[in-house]
Amino acid sequence: MSLPKAATLFLLFFLLLLSSTTTSNAHNITRLLAKYPQFSTFNHYLTTTHLASQINRRQTITVLALDNTAMSSLLAKHYSLYTLKNILSLHVLVDYFGSKKLHRISKRSTLTSTMFQATGAAPGTSGYVNITNLKGGKVGFGAEDNEGKLDATFVKSIKEIPYNISIVQISHALNSDEAEAPTAAPSQLNLTEIMSKQGCKAFADLLTASGADDKFNENMDAGLTVFCPTDGAVKSFMPKYKNLTSSKKVSLLLYHGIPVFMSLQMLKTNNGVMNTLATDGANSYDFSVSNEDEVVSLDTTVVTSKVLGILKEEEPLIVFKINKVLMPKELFKPVVAKEANAPEADAPADSEPADAEDNTNGVQGLGGGRLVMVVLSLWIGILLI
C-alpha cells in the first residue's frame, strides 16, 4: 500500500472515530410519534402520565404503541390517570426488540421486563411481558400475570433506531390485574414550601405575593421545571424588581418555569431554546440552555445563570437552584457583543456579558479551527514518517 493511500485511510478512520464520539443516544418519544396521527391519543397519555420523560431517559427501550382505536377501548374503562400510567408502563419494554428480533426469538418465546416492573409496584413477575412467535409468522404479546393469554399481536414496526429505541404497533392493550389495580394519587407537592426550606425563600415569597404561584401550581400535574434563584441572588436583584410594573413582575417570575418535566440529564442532552410559562404569542420569553462539562447554563441574552443543584425531583416536578435571577430580553436590554476597535458603549446596569464560549453544535471543547489544525498536523506527521 502506498504511503499517501495509507495516510488517507488513517485520516478517514480518525474522522470516523471522532464523529462517533459526538453521536448522541438521546431520543424523544413524543416527537417520534408526532409524525403518526393514528397514535395521537397514545402519545398524549405518554406525556400526561409523564411516561414520555422516563422513556426519553432510557438508553435502550421498546414501546408497544396502541393506535387511537385501541386507546379508545382502553379509555372506555375509565381508569384513573395513575392506574392508566401503570397500564401504559406495561407497554414499555426495557430492552430493544426490532421487527427482525421479534420474529426470530430463540425457543419461540421469551419474557422481558417492563417499566411497570421497574417501578417496584409490580409484585413477582407481574411486570413482565411474554413475547411468543405464533404460526403464520405472527408474534403475540401478553402480560405474565394474565394466565398465559396473549392479548395482542404484532402489527408493524413504526420506528427503529438500533439499539436505542424501537416503536412497534400492537393490536390491543395488554391486560394485567396488577397494572389495572386502583392506584392512589401521589402526595401533593407544595412548591413554595419546597423552595423556602432550601435556600430559595425570597423567590418563593415573590411568587406568593404576586400570585404567580397559582400559574406554577396549575402546571404541576402536566409537568413542571422550576429554576429558583438563591436568596442572595434575589436580594441583589430587588432594586430592579421593584421598578417593574405588577404585570411585568409576574412575567419575570413565570419566566423561571418550563411547562414540562426536564431532568438534569434531559437539560444536558436537549440544549437549545426553551419556552417558559411566560411565553405567550408574540412574547417569546425564551432562553437558551447549554452545558460545558457538567455545568448547565441558562442564557437569556441579558444574563447567563448557572444551575447549582437540584432542590426537589419528584415527577411531575423538578426544582433547580440557580445563581442569578433570569432576566428576559422583553424586559431588560440584551447584551450586544462589542466589535473590535469599535467605541465602547455603556453597558446596561442590569445586564452582564454572556459566556464567551457556547459551543453546542460542534465537538465539545474542540472548535472548528482547532479540529482542522489537528487533522492537518496528523496528515503532515504521517507523511514525514
Domain boundaries, the chain: 29-170, 191-322
C-alpha to C-alpha distance for 91 and 110, rounded to whole angstroms: 15
Out of 53-62, 115-124, 318-327, give the one with best mean pLDDT.
318-327
At 310, list the grid cell.
437540584
Backbone angles phi, psi at 326, to 5 degrees: -80, 125
Per-position b or e across 333-350, b if 16+ CB within 10 A of its CB: eebeeeeeeeeeeeeeeb
pLDDT classification of 26: cutoffs 50, 70, 90: low
- CATH code: domain 191-322 is 2.30.180.10
Note the pLDDT of residue 313.
Answer: 84
Amino acid identity, position 288: S
Across 167-188, average pLDDT: 89
Note the pLDDT of residue 33.
Answer: 95
Across 88-92, average pLDDT: 96
Tell me which of 177 and 336 has the higher pLDDT.
177
pLDDT classification of 219: cutoffs 50, 70, 90: confident
Do 29-170 and 191-322 share a fold? Answer: yes
Question: Is the peptide bond prior to 334 cis by the omega test (within 30 degrees of 0)?
Answer: no
Asked if residue 143 lies in contact with residue 156, where contact means CB atoms within 8 angstroms, the answer is no
Least confident stretch, 207-211, 301-305, 344-348: 344-348
Beta strands in the chain (DSSP E): 61-65, 92-93, 109-113, 128-133, 139-143, 152-161, 165-170, 224-229, 257-258, 272-274, 287-292, 295-299, 304-314, 317-322
Task: Supply the pTM of this predicted model.
Answer: 0.55
C-alpha to C-alpha distance for 328 and 344, rounded to whole angstroms: 23
| Helix/strand/coil for 140 | strand
pLDDT classification of 296: cutoffs 50, 70, 90: very high
| Helix/strand/coil for 381 | helix
Note the pLDDT of residue 99.
Answer: 95
C-alpha to C-alpha distance for 261 and 319, rounded to whole angstroms: 10
Q: Does residue 348 carry a pLDDT above 90?
A: no
- Within a 10 A sphere around the Cβ of 368, how many other Cβ atoms? 11
Note the pLDDT of residue 368.
Answer: 40
Average pLDDT for the chain: 83
Question: What homologous superfamily is domain 29-170 in, according to CATH?
Answer: FAS1 domain (2.30.180.10)
